[in-house]
Amino acid sequence: MDSAQNTVDLSEEQTQELIGMVESLNERLRSSGAGGSETAFGLGCGIGLIPVVGVTLLLWMFGVINLILALFILVFGMLALAGISILLANTARSNAFKRVYRTEVEPEIVQYLSKQRLSRQDFDNLAYQMLPLDAPLQGYLSPILPEEAGSAGEVD
């Protein structure tokens, strides 16, 4: 009996409850990542800009560089800061997703599964079908896809 071939029969009420819960959990992950990444990007650009501007002004004031070169340094410095800030923002977003999933989302899923008497695999398969591919919750699901289900028994 292959568990990938089993289908879960949920009532209309259970299906609506599952859809609402999956969307709510996904939105919670999405909003947690947004706040952290915006803060990290703002801090990275804001704090990093101070030394770039300071050093450029000092070099220009002491005559080491001319005004045009100073402007080029400022522009390239800001581009570099934006790139580094984007990396910091993505890291902060990823860490926020992990923290919120571990502390809030996963315990809620476990509670729901015990209440509905569903397996985690069934939940993952159903949630995978409901969510768009770019949804944050997708990163924490382990569905058995139809092409994987057919080849699961063919392992040597």
Residues 9/122, Cβ–Cβ less than 8 Å:
no
DSSP assignment letter at 131: S
pTM confidence score: 0.73
Token pair for residue 71?
């402007």
* Residues lower than pLDDT 50 in the chain: 1-6, 153, 155-156
pLDDT at 149: 53
Rounded distance between C-alpha atoms, residue 49 and residue 51, angstroms: 6
The residue length of the chain stands at 156
Rounded distance between C-alpha atoms, residue 95 and residue 91, angstroms: 6
Rounded distance between C-alpha atoms, residue 24 and residue 106, angstroms: 13
